[in-house]
């Protein structure tokens, strides 16, 4: 929540904010760097033996017990004054995500999950939406910032998904998309070319809320180059649509 205050303070001075570009569509701000540095400092104070994997700073320390950080997931929304941005923080031990947290400071919503203990929104238990009908589904998605450089991109997938569902949503923060699946605001979320720091907390949130997580073929998530999160009931239906776009078919 202290990191969220840093984000909101920067948001009050967007016109003065230093904004850089990793590529023409992928933005990074001084707020991203400051939030990550703040979180790393606090983690090192409390857990000096733990490692870190951050979007901005990369890996450091013991990666067997590490904290996975996306300081501002949804930087484009943040820069444009929109509320759909979040900080994502997960703790992973020996390859297993134990704790996950997604905080949306502009909406004052904090999603938390502990392995085996369920998922919560602002301290109250949450569950995925009970819906087994594709035509009643609201599905979230995203478009990778380097989509013009990739043969596999959502421009081919979206026309296959959209006719089968009620509607599509594009919030611009994969961490929030996962949180919305966990809380029932979305029935599912899929995207290509994500990184672990985008969804590490979201994976645990969805699983602990009773949902399902896989790649497009229905297999374990792997390197996050193709991600599908759902309420579970619709998972196989979505896999049937997405499988032709999976790595195994490329």
- Separation of first and last alpha carbons in the chain: 42
59 a catalytic residue: no
Determine which one of 187, 198, 215, 226 is catalytic: 198
Half-sphere exposure of 94 (CA within 13 A, CB side): 0
72 a catalytic residue: yes
75 a catalytic residue: yes
Give pairs for 2-5: CB < 8 Å, separation 24+. Answer: 2/38, 2/42, 3/35, 3/38, 3/39, 3/71, 3/87, 3/103, 4/87, 4/103, 4/105, 5/105
CA 201, 152, 175: angle at the middle one, nearest 5?
15
* Pairing between β-strand 188-192 and β-strand 212-214 as defined by DSSP bridges: unpaired
Does residue 46 contact residue 70 with C-beta atoms inside 8 Å?
A: no
Per the structure block, which two tokens stand in for 236? 């196989």
Determine which one of 43, 68, 69, 72 is catalytic: 72
Q: Which of 234, 148, 149, 146 is nearest to 190 (CA)?
A: 234
157 a catalytic residue: no
User: How far is the C-alpha of 83 from the C-alpha of 78, rounded, in Å?
Assistant: 7
Question: SS3 for 31?
Answer: helix
Determine which one of 6, 36, 68, 75 is catalytic: 75
55 a catalytic residue: yes
73 a catalytic residue: yes
Determine which one of 32, 70, 92, 215 is catalytic: 70
What CA–CA distances, in Å, run from 83 to 70, 72, 75, 153? 16, 12, 10, 26
Which residues are known to be catalytic?
Answer: 55, 70, 72-73, 75, 198
């Amino acid at each position: 929540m202290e990191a969220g205050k840093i984000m909101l303070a920067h948001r009050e001075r967007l016109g003065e904010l230093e904004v850089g570009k990793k590529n023409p569509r992928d933005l990074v701000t001084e707020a991203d760097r400051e939030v990550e540095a703040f979180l790393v400092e606090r983690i090192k104070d409390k857990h000096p033996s733990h490692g870190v994997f951050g979007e901005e700073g990369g890996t450091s320390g013991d990666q067997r017990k590490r904290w996975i950080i996306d300081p501002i997931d949804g930087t484009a929304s943040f820069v444009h004054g929109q509320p759909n941005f979040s900080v994502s923080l997960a703790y992973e031990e020996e390859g297993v995500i134990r704790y996950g947290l997604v905080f949306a400071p502009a909406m004052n919503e904090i999603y938390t999950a502990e392995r085996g203990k369920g998922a919560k929104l602002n301290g109250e238990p949450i569950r995925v939406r009970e819906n087994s009908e594709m035509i009643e589904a609201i599905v979230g998605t995203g478009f990778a910032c380097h989509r013009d450089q990739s043969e596999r991109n959502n421009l081919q997938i979206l026309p296959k998904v959209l006719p089968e569902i009620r509607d599509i949503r594009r919030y611009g923060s994969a961490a929030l998309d996962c949180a919305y699946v966990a809380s029932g605001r979305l029935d599912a979320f899929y995207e290509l070319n994500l990184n672990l720091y985008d969804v590490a907390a979201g994976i645990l949130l969805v699983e602990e809320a009773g949902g399902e997580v896989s790649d497009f073929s229905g297999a374990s998530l792997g390197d996050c180059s193709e991600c599908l999160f759902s309420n579970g009931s619709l998972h196989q239906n979505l896999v049937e649509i997405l499988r032709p776009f999976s790595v195994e078919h490329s």
